[in-house]
Amino acid sequence: MDIVIPDFTPAIPEIFILSMACIILIADLYISDDNRFITYLLSLATLVGASLLTINLHTGESVLTFNGTFINDTMADVLKIFIYLVTGVVFIYARGYLQDRNMFKGEFYVLGLFGVLGMMVMVSAHNFLTIYLGLELLSLSLYALVAMHRDSQDASEAAMKYFVLGALASGMLLYGMSLLYGVTGTLDIAEFRTNIGQIADPNQIVLVLGLVLVIVGLAFKLGAVPFHMWIPDIYHGAPTAVTLFIGSAPKIAAFAMIMRLLVDGLGSIHAQWQDILIIMAVLSMGIGNIIAIAQSNIKRMLAYSTISHVGFILLGILAGSKAGYSASMFYTIVYAIMSMGGFGMVLLMSRAGFEADKLDDYKGLNERSPWFAFMMLILMFSMAGVPPTVGFYAKLSVLQAVVGADITWLAVIAVIFSIIGAFYYIRIVKLMYFDKPEDMTPITSNAEMRILLSANSLGVLALGIFPSSLLALCMAAVPNL
Amino acid sequence: MFSDLPLLSLVIWTPIIGGVLVLFFSKDEQANSARWISLAFSVLTFVLAIPLYTMFDTTTHQMQFVELTPWITTFDVNYHLGVDGISMPLILLTAFTTVIVVIAGWEVIEYKTAQYMAAFLIMNGLMIGVFSSLDAILFYVFWEAMLIPMFLIIGVWGGPRRVYATIKFFLYTFLGSVFMLVALIYMYSQSGSFGILDFHGLRLSLNEQIYIFIAFLLAFAVKVPMFPVHTWLPDAHVEAPTGGSVILAAIMLKLGTYGFVRFSMPITPDASNNLDWLMITLSLIAVVYIAFVALVQKDMKKLIAYSSISHMGFVTLGFFIVYSIIENTGNAQGAALGINGALVQMISHGFVSGALFLCVGVMYDRMHSRQIADYGGVVNTMPVFAAFMVFFAMANAGLPGTSGFVGEFMVILSSFKANFWIAFAAATTLIFGAAYTLWMVKRVVFGDAVNEGVKKLTDVNNREFFFLALLAVVVLGLGLWPAPLLDVMNATVDHLVIQITQSKI
């Protein structure tokens, strides 16, 4: 019996993150509360190290390893870089908030890093089991993160809900995968793709059933209607620092999961899943945007806004073209950046004993801090898709993919919902600029947060004026079909 | 010496950079620096725009001062600028109006002066960008970006119902534009380019044209605004600060009619031809019905706002009457007359309505009321101001010798070639326009001073005299000698008439 030693090179960043997470976990035990800063710096250094490794190991080719269960291609590299970036920013934004609430513990960072590892595995998965493995690693880290604030009833409730519903969705996904395995006899995505054409007629129904269950699982993780119920409650209940994490980086991983499962694996039966995605996209945009109007809590509002953005992400995928997939990828990355800024603002405004999660807390921000009011203005208009912010190009590129796929009516529906959506975004602007402040407490937050949040918002504006490079990057990253 | 400078880019970006710069002077004690910097940048922009006129080649319909750089390569979007005889005068109008607005807001705006000035400067650049874009996405970016500063101007410095008015304004215009976006993307999927000039040559079936026409109509009709989507305008005007009203009336409304000549008519000529009855009907409703609405207004700003809608009806009438003229006479000459008239009306209305809003602003600053009933006998205490007000009112009513007359007369003249009754209905505006404007002037300016407030009024100061006089000179100049304006437009309009009458099916 030959034992083949697999090529570890493509997975070096993953191995690095895993080792570092373990080291930090142990080192943190010996670090006193006063020196917790070291854990924080180590975690950031880990992310920087992983980015350097990913960039250095980038070959531009797609490499399979571990018996074809793990793939490293341009898309994986690009998505990983953004996952590091977003997570790094989350870590920095979260520090002040965690310190104020006595939650500045090593666990946050270690769990965050394990979450990153899970996302990286999802992004690079080339086998149904690897996808599931990555997903569970991510989900378990997130469940624990939500529950981190033990004294808070809301957080415990959210963690419980998240865990039960998440487990249910994972079960659906796993069941779908097992059906797909049943009809094709393989879990490997490349093999699956070739076997799918040879399925005997009576088994077609099993294939479709498997497909539907897989889509249910994916839709849950993304938060598409009708599997969106968890999003508002968990976003609301979780500590804002954790909401920030859940709301940004995992969307990138979820996009990768869709690309691997639906596009790579099930691409040949695109016609079968296109209609399902159309319905989910329309419902997500509709319900997300309409219900967001009724919210008075900004975290809930942003949660519903997430749902509507997911609808837009689905638009690009259902178009079924290279342009569509790269548009969705662009949208996902842009969304992660915008959502980072949006929740970042909530963190910036909060202080010990004050969550700043009511819409009314934003009243008269222009009087209190014109600079950050302007930053929030950019973010809100970007989420609404008004140029010259990058949110506009995200919408433009998915609409273009949809029109290119000859589903112009869907583009019309999408823009109608984006008008409805514009209302609640500009309501924030209204509160900040047109209303008088109710509380004049100066905004206290650490300098790194202020600088980074400004860079985040200005980045949204700068990418809106020069969107070309990011668009080209997404175009190059999506594999040719 | 200017020929190798990217003039259009300079005219677009100078005020935007100036606006950003002004934002750094946002402390209350720096308000004066903010004012002077804004004035400097707005004047500089206007000066930079002057070579566009002096170096303009009036013999060609081709785009001039063209700049072309790839911008978003993935979608073939270019940073493509250029002007022709239609857009160039509008750019000058925009740059000029911004200077006036900066001066008009000088002492009046005390709350967050820097932000106020910055919003107007940035908007100035964005509006010029709209007029000079030759790429559909670039156009759309400027078109939508403009909403943000205007949204803030009305919302922050507006009247008591400003929040309602500005959200209504934003959603209405956003609603219209997104459908245009879908139409633009559709044409891109057909032609593989976002170039507006490429769209002009794109063949489209009648069905496609009608859908695209309707999408454009939604975008532009809201901006013009045409009946029945005009209701945001009176609200926005009444609540906006004076400067906001001036920019809205003088330039924003022109963006809608500019869209018709740049997009709707050349891109979908067959649909425009088929649906011209709809456009003419809506225009006539605006001209006649809205004039009646204006007659009964009690608020001066509202009255002028309705008068704007009525006048803009003339512009759309002048554009879409073309098809019936050619059907009736086969003569492109008459058609060109209508379009020329409409374009002159656009420019003239920019000056006249802007001036009227400034007049109301001058009174409002003293009395804090816009109600006609609160005034009466203003002439007794403000004789110089009264003279200006009467003059601009006459221009608004279309008195010969003012710029208001030239455009209206040309449009009415050309509509006679199409249909007597259309011309008749349009001509009634000369009566109704005179009725509502002069009646307002009578109640506000003439008679005995009605109350203590009016008795205590002081006449215009130097600053106010300066901008009113400047506008009066322009209005009178264009009225007596419109030739410089018409010369610039001629070649472009002749080409446009050919373009919009060639079937694309």
Is residue B54 within 8 angstroms of chain A, CB to CB? no
Q: What residue of B is the nearest CA neighbor of A473?
A: B74
To which residue do tokens 């109600």 refer? B371
Gap between the Cα atoms of B170 and B145, Å rounded:
11
Gap between the Cα atoms of A135 and A253, Å rounded:
9
What would the two tokens of residue B234 be? 């009176």
B175 to chain A, closest Cα gap in Å: 6
Q: For residue range B90-140, what is the model confidence (pLDDT) as tens digits? A: 998 999 999 988 888 887 777 888 888 899 999 999 999 999 999 999 999
How many contacts does A have with B, using Cβ atoms within 8 A?
Answer: 92
Instruction: Write down the pLDDT at residue A454.
Output: 92
With CA atoms as reference, report the closest residue to A347 among A310, A372, A380, A374: A372
Length of chain B: 505
Omega before residue A226 within 30° of 0, cis: yes
- Note whether B72 contacts A471, CB cutoff 8 Å: yes
CA distances B249 to A39, A118, B25, B346, B353, Å, are 60, 57, 29, 10, 6
Extract the residue ranges of chain B whose pLDDT is less than 50: 1
Gap between the Cα atoms of A251 and A119, Å rounded:
9
Please say whether the beta carbons of B37 and B18 come within 8 A: yes
Distance of CA A445 to the CA centre of its chain: 25
- Note whether B178 contacts A408, CB cutoff 8 Å: no
Please say whether the beta carbons of A327 and A405 come within 8 A: no
Is residue A422 within 8 angstroms of chain B, CB to CB? yes
Instruction: Write down the pLDDT at residue B240.
Output: 85
**Cβ neighbours of residue A205 under 8 Å, at least 6 residues apart?**
none
Half-sphere exposure of A341 (CA within 13 A, CB side): 29
- Note whether B186 contacts A408, CB cutoff 8 Å: yes
CA distances A95 to A98, A104, A106, A249, B106, Å, are 5, 7, 11, 17, 45
With CA atoms as reference, report the closest residue to B150 among B223, B100, B99: B223
Is residue A381 within 8 angstroms of chain B, CB to CB? yes
B487 to chain A, closest Cα gap in Å: 36
Q: What is the dihedral of CA A273, A278, A283, A288, to 10 degrees?
A: 100
Interface test with B, best of A433, A454, A458, A475 (most B CBs within 10 A): A433
Gap between the Cα atoms of A202 and A183, Å rounded:
10
Instruction: Write down the pLDDT at residue B1.
Output: 47
Instruction: Write down the pLDDT at residue B3.
Output: 59
- Note whether A399 contacts B189, CB cutoff 8 Å: no
A322 to chain B, closest Cα gap in Å: 12
With CA atoms as reference, report the closest residue to B331 among B423, B424, B417: B417
Beta bridge partners of A209: none
Please say whether the beta carbons of A464 and A341 come within 8 A: no
Q: Contacts of residue A423 in chain B, CB cutoff 8 Å?
A: 167, 171
CA geometry: angle B22, B24, B27, nearest 5 deg: 100
Interface test with B, best of A326, A330, A400 (most B CBs within 10 A): A400
Is residue B73 within 8 angstroms of chain A, CB to CB? yes
DSSP secondary structure letter of residue B446: S
Gap between the Cα atoms of B250 and B238, Å rounded:
15
Beta strands in B352-443 (DSSP E): none
Q: Contacts of residue A404 in chain B, CB cutoff 8 Å?
A: 189
- Note whether A387 contacts B152, CB cutoff 8 Å: no
Is residue A387 within 8 angstroms of chain B, CB to CB? yes
Q: How many CB atoms lie within 10 A of CB A129?
A: 14
Length of chain A: 481
A270 to chain B, closest Cα gap in Å: 21
- Note whether B174 contacts A397, CB cutoff 8 Å: no
Which of A404, A408, A475 is nearest residue B74 as measured by Cβ atoms?
A475
Which of B137, B167, B181 is nearest residue A426 as measured by Cβ atoms?
B167
SS3 B69: strand
Instruction: Write down the pLDDT at residue A34.
Output: 82
Q: What residue of A is the nearest CA neighbor of B73?
A: A468
Residue B449 corresponds to which amino acid?
A
Is residue B17 within 8 angstroms of chain A, CB to CB? no
Please say whether the beta carbons of A139 and A166 come within 8 A: yes
To which residue do tokens 């943000």 refer? B148
Q: For residue range B225-239, what is the model confidence (pLDDT) as tens digits? A: 888 888 888 888 888
Q: How many CB atoms lie within 10 A of CB A33?
A: 8
Three-class SS string for A18-70?
HHHHHHHHHHHHCCCHHHCHHHHHHHHHHHHHHHHHHHHHCCCCCEEECCCCE
- Note whether A433 contacts B163, CB cutoff 8 Å: no
- Maximum CA pair distance of chain A? 77
Q: For residue range B239-278, what is the model confidence (pLDDT) as tens digits? A: 888 888 889 888 888 998 999 988 988 888 888 888 888 9
Supply the Cα-derived Rg of chain A in whole angstroms.
Answer: 22
Q: What residue of A is the nearest CA neighbor of B159?
A: A434
Instruction: Write down the pLDDT at residue B2.
Output: 52
From the first residue on, what is the mean pLDDT of each consecutive set of 10 residues in chain A (481 residues)? 78 92 90 85 92 88 86 90 93 89 86 94 92 93 89 87 92 92 88 84 86 91 88 90 91 91 86 90 92 90 92 91 91 93 90 82 86 91 90 92 90 91 89 84 83 92 89 85 65
Instruction: Write down the pLDDT at residue A481.
Output: 65
